[in-house]
Amino acid sequence: MKTRSFTHTINPFCAVIPGQVIGAVGVGRVVDSRHPDFKTGDLVSGWLSWAEYTIVTDYQLLQKLDVNMGFPLSYYAGGVLGHAGLAAYGGLFKVCKPKKGEKVFVSAASGSVGNLVGQYAKLFGCYVVGCAGTKEKVDLLKETIGFDAAFNYKEETNFNAALQRYFPEGIDIYFDNVGGEMLEAAVQNMNLFGRIAVCGMISEYTDTQKKAKPDIVQVIYKRIKIEGFLAIDLNDIYPEFVSTTVQYLQTDKLKVIEDMSYGVESIPSAFVDIFRGNNIGKKVVKIAED
Amino acid sequence: MKTRSFTHTINPFCAVIPGQVIGAVGVGRVVDSRHPDFKTGDLVSGWLSWAEYTIVTDYQLLQKLDVNMGFPLSYYAGGVLGHAGLAAYGGLFKVCKPKKGEKVFVSAASGSVGNLVGQYAKLFGCYVVGCAGTKEKVDLLKETIGFDAAFNYKEETNFNAALQRYFPEGIDIYFDNVGGEMLEAAVQNMNLFGRIAVCGMISEYTDTQKKAKPDIVQVIYKRIKIEGFLAIDLNDIYPEFVSTTVQYLQTDKLKVIEDMSYGVESIPSAFVDIFRGNNIGKKVVKIAED
């Protein structure tokens, strides 16, 4: 089967499996197919090549899209209705099981998953604070996305003190997108029975010296749960995720933050942007117009 | 209320809350009481002083013992029918949720909790390997307690390689009593959806430089759950724990390993033994005969 690509997303995971070439999560239209489930003209999402056209031979992760609701195709390309949304929704509700009024901390909070975690948590009735790496991102979190507070971690010399300031009553849930020192500081500030969903560790990707040493004494005394997860394991929550998210999108309760670049020639710089923290929201490469 | 002590247990937790004096978990007989629930002559377990007699003013953690089954009093003093047993049973079944045939690794496996975790896991149908710090302990685990295998961690230069050798198919459950490097090595060898119950970190108590840096990349990819817990949170599993354990004891399926010393004068050396790893099984100080 051959597809023509429209939008691809950049995922840091693609870069960290040594020696393995992984495609992007993309949306495309079938231009030729000998597979009975896919017809010419179908819109599909799944693993596509970093290219304008892809020959698909592994159909397992490919799915036909129902785009009748009129949302942009990028929403499905690993975005708010794709794996970023599912990771945010499932990581928050299935892994962390929040209660209304609980205090939620999100790192890399302006990123593709982080901003959605914060929005879902706010809509659910939690107190939400995020951290990010520029003033622009922090302003976006507070003013546009509706976090209760946000701070620039690059301006903090002591993460532990920063979290004490923003969470005088402690943290109940930490949605970790960065690992490293911020994870250690979060453990220091967790409440009893705190839950940490580990979704990313961008600080550890880019500097292997920054490995977190969470205080295990605190993990025991405070009965903290630290759980790694991937969006692919959250399929049982997928229908709930889609119906809730579509409803939020249709009623304008959920803001979609995308960072778009154009053409296959922008792929390398898009990757570098992710690791430098230059993206705000979901990084999307638009390959072609539909 | 005043009690006379018979047996006390040593718990490393008692030593790590700075500035706070904590009694021992002990069993005693009431010699005088003005509390309606406790009469002179009742046997009780709970927090008692490190002394021959205790004035009890906080009744919350005190409970009357039903000792009609004829087990030694030490079993109730934080032992196999007390919090060590509950921590082992609840930590294994409630926190780690084993399936038959799964591979279980236990550190400090000859300790009060560790040896019971291994025995419960074996009786349930798991493959169990433990590590300990002397040949005598390793022999005990293999020959008396019935672990599938055991090794002396002090003879291993590379914990990661040791675990690969004992778990060629990977570890499903790690019951962590030590923290530090062994926790890091366990994470390296965990299978997908592995569970780590963190019950102790004796290596980190005694050397704060030994803080574990578990590989968070692996925690995510392998969807590992790391969970701290205390026996006091496991009350909902208490009736099941007692009935199962009593049945195992009455049918001689569970071996009880106690390391007994005698008299209040042995308390300081009993504490030091715990931190030096000199104890085998539950460390119990016998204060007086009933």
Give the count of Cβ contacts less than 8 A between chain A and B: 87
Domains of chain A, by residue range, sit at 2-79+257-286, 83-232
Of B200, B219, B228, the CB nearest to A223: B228
What's the one-letter identity of residue B52?
E
Q: Which residue of A has its CA nearest to B184?
A: A213
> How far is it, in rounded angstroms, from Cα A125 to Cα A145?
15
What pLDDT, on the 0 to 100 scale, is given for residue B12?
40
Q: By CA distance, what is B95's nearest residue in A?
A: A225
Residue A277: the pLDDT is 75
Residue B53 to residue B129: CA distance in whole angstroms: 41
**Same fold for the domain at B2-80+257-286 and the one at B85-228?**
no
Binary contact (B228, A224; C-beta < 8 A) = yes
Q: How far is A80 from chain B (nearest CA, A)?
A: 21
Closest residue to A228, CB basis, from B213, B219, B227:
B219
Determine the pLDDT at residue A83. 86
Element at B115 (helix H, strand E): helix B114-124
Nearest CA in chain B to A178: B216
What chain B residue is nearest to A224 in terms of C-alpha separation? B228
Chain A residue closest in CA terms to B225: A227
The residue among A56, A47, A45, A63 whose CA lies nearest residue A11 is A47
The listed CATH number (3.40.50.300, 3.10.20.90, 3.30.43.10, 3.90.180.10) that belongs to domain B2-80+257-286: 3.90.180.10
Q: Kindly report the nearest CA distance between residue A230 and chain B, in angstroms.
A: 7
Tell me which CATH code domain B85-228 carries: 3.40.50.720
CB contact under 8 A, A228 and B216: yes
Using DSSP bridges, classify how beta strands A53-55 and A2-9 pair: parallel, antiparallel or unpaired.
antiparallel
pLDDT score of A74: 85
Domain A2-79+257-286 fold is Quinone Oxidoreductase; Chain A, domain 1 (3.90.180)
- Of all residues in chain A, the one with the smallest CA distance to B219 is A228
Q: Which of A219, A223, A228 is opposite residue B220, by nearest beta carbon?
A: A228
- Which neighbouring-strand residues pair with A105? A129, A174
* Alpha carbon of B135: minimum distance to chain A alpha carbons (Å): 28
Contact yes or no for B230 and A222 at CB 8 A: no
Q: Which helix (H) or strand (E) covers residue A254, if one does? A: none
Q: Are strands B127-132 and B149-152 parallel, antiparallel or unpaired?
A: parallel
At A90 the pLDDT is: 96
Report the alpha-carbon distance of residue A182 to residue A198 in Å, rounded. Answer: 12
Cβ-Cβ contacts under 8 Å for A139 (sequence gap 6 or more): none
CB atoms within 10 A of CB A10: 26
Residue written as tokens 């009786």?
Answer: B123
Low-confidence ranges of chain B (pLDDT < 70): 1, 3, 5-23, 201-209, 290
CB contacts of A198 in chain B (<8 Å) are 216, 219-220
> What's the pLDDT at A207?
62
Torsion angle of the four alpha carbons B120, B122, B127, B131, in this order, in degrees rounded to the nearest 10: 60
The B-side interface with A (CB below 8 A) comprises 16, 179, 183, 198-201, 204-205, 211-230, 233
Contact B223 A225 (CB under 8 A): no
Which residue from B minimizes the CA distance to A210?
Answer: B213
Q: How far apart are CA B8 and CA B128, in angstroms?
A: 30
Alpha-carbon gap: B138 to the closest alpha carbon of chain A (Å): 26
For residue B16, the distance in angstroms to the closest alpha carbon of chain A comes to 9
**CB contact at 8 A, A216 and B201:** yes
Q: Which residues of B touch A213 (CB under 8 A)?
A: 211-213
CATH of the domain spanning A83-232 = 3.40.50.720
| pLDDT, tens digit (0-9, with 9 covering 90-100), for B134-161 | 999 999 999 999 999 999 999 999 999 9
pLDDT in tens, chain A (290 residues): 676 766 665 544 333 333 334 567 788 888 888 888 888 888 888 877 777 788 888 777 788 887 778 898 888 877 899 889 999 999 999 999 999 999 999 999 999 899 999 999 999 999 999 999 999 999 999 999 999 999 999 999 999 999 999 999 999 999 999 888 999 999 999 999 999 999 876 655 556 567 788 888 899 999 999 999 998 889 899 999 999 999 999 999 999 998 888 887 887 788 787 777 777 777 788 877 76
Which long-range contacts (C-beta less than 8 Å, at least 24 apart) are formed by A205-211? A205/A12, A205/A15, A205/A16, A205/A275, A205/B217, A206/A275, A207/A180, A210/A179, A210/A180, A210/A181, A211/A179, A211/A180, A211/B213, A211/B215, A211/B216
Q: With CB atoms and an 8 Å threshold, state whether A198 touches B221.
A: no
Name every chain A residue with its beta carbon within 8 A of the beta carbon of B206. Answer: none
Residue to test with chain B: of A107, A208, A220, most B Cβ within 10 A: A220
Ordered DSSP codes for B21-72: ---EEEEEEEEE--STT--TT-EEEEEE-SSSEEE----TT-EE---TT---
Write the residue in B198, B201, B223 that is nearest to A229 by C-beta.
B223
Q: Tell me, what's the ipTM?
A: 0.83
pLDDT at A14 (0 to 100):
34
Question: Is the CB of B220 less than 8 angstroms away from the CB of A198?
Answer: yes
| CA–CA distance, B287 with B29 (Å, rounded to integer) | 12
Give the bridge partners for A3, in sequence order: A30, A54
- Inter-residue contact A211 to B216 (CB < 8 Å): yes
